[in-house]
Amino acid sequence: MKIAIFYNKKTNPQNKKYALEVAVVLEKHQLKYFFNPELSDIKRIDLAIAVGGDGTVLYVANLLADLKIPILGINFGHRGYLCSIQKDEIANGLQKIIAKKYEIEKRTRLRAEIINQNHPTSTLEALNEISIGGINRTVHLNATVVTPQKSIETEITGDGLIVSTRTGSTAYNINAGGPILLTEALSIVANNAFFQSDALLSITKSLVVPSETLIKVTDLSHNAANLPYVIADGQKSIKISKGDRISIRKAKNKNYFMKF
């Protein structure tokens, strides 16, 4: 088994010492490993170990999105919702891996496509959520939610819009007042705002929709200085241009997580 150990050497260089702790345990079990491999080497690995917190797991998840490589998150951070084990469980976790006493869980991902005049200009993918909003400013958005059963059009004036997977429902989504998802679905939340639609109650600020739903968003302010950003997992962002439409749906690829 070839194992890659990932840690964020840019934002959390202190995690190198934790990565070395993991390496020591792997050596005891005579397992091959290497640190933060180059893209050309990633396809050769059998398991990715993310050392740090949820931010590191998200980074690795996006890096491996097109590959069926399982991820094991080891929490050396704070909450570690996306991590399978805590730092004091490393030896026990690796013993279970060697004994093949684990399960592989597939996680839905999201894809946001920015379209201008019917031509895609850029895309972003996320494991947790795609958010659309301004930086310290109010935005005015039009959103059309197309489910397999019906279509709903609404406007949002406030901090913006969040579309979350089940995995991300306990992250930014819940902080914005969204629900925790216990099954494969999408949560759509008006962040610090409410949906404005005849089809919805005026007090509604969140929707739970099937994972096959398409969400189409356009900016209604027509103010170049106030155009919103599309943000994936809080890590990558694109500022939209005038006339852009954002299309959000379930991605074709998934992430694979190791669970005990």
Domains in the chain, CATH or no CATH each? 2-101 (3.40.50.10330), 109-252 (2.60.200.30)
| Spatial distance between the Cα atoms of 128 and 107, rounded to a whole number of angstroms | 10
**Comparing 80 with 211, which gets the higher pLDDT?**
211
Q: Is the pLDDT of residue 78 over 80?
A: no
Q: How much of the chain, in percent, has pLDDT values that exceed 90?
A: 70
**Comparing 87 with 71, which gets the higher pLDDT?**
71
Angle at 123 between CA 120 and CA 126, to 5 degrees: 150
Q: What is the DSSP string of 177-234?
A: TPPPPSSSEEEEEEETS-EE-TTS-TT--EEEEETT-EEEEEE-S--GGG--EEEETT
pTM of model > 0.85: yes
Query: In this structure, are strands 129-133 and 229-232 parallel, antiparallel, or unpaired?
Result: antiparallel
Q: What mean pLDDT is predicted for residues 59-84?
A: 91
**CB-based burial of residue 88 (10 Å sphere; 0-12 exposed, 13-18 middle, 19+ buried)?**
exposed
Q: What mean pLDDT is predicted for residues 172-200?
A: 92
Q: What mean pLDDT is predicted for residues 116-141?
A: 92
Q: Give the pLDDT score at 85.
A: 93
Q: Which of 54, 159, 219, 233 is catalytic?
A: 54
Q: Give the pLDDT score at 202.
A: 65
Q: Binning pLDDT at 50, 70 and 90, where does residue 29 land?
A: confident
Active site residue 54: yes
| Spatial distance between the Cα atoms of 239 and 244, rounded to a whole number of angstroms | 10
Q: Give the pLDDT score at 150.
A: 92
pLDDT in tens, 32-42: 999 998 888 88
Query: In this structure, are strands 2-6 and 47-52 parallel, antiparallel, or unpaired?
Result: parallel
Mean pLDDT of the chain: 91
Q: Give the pLDDT score at 207.
A: 94
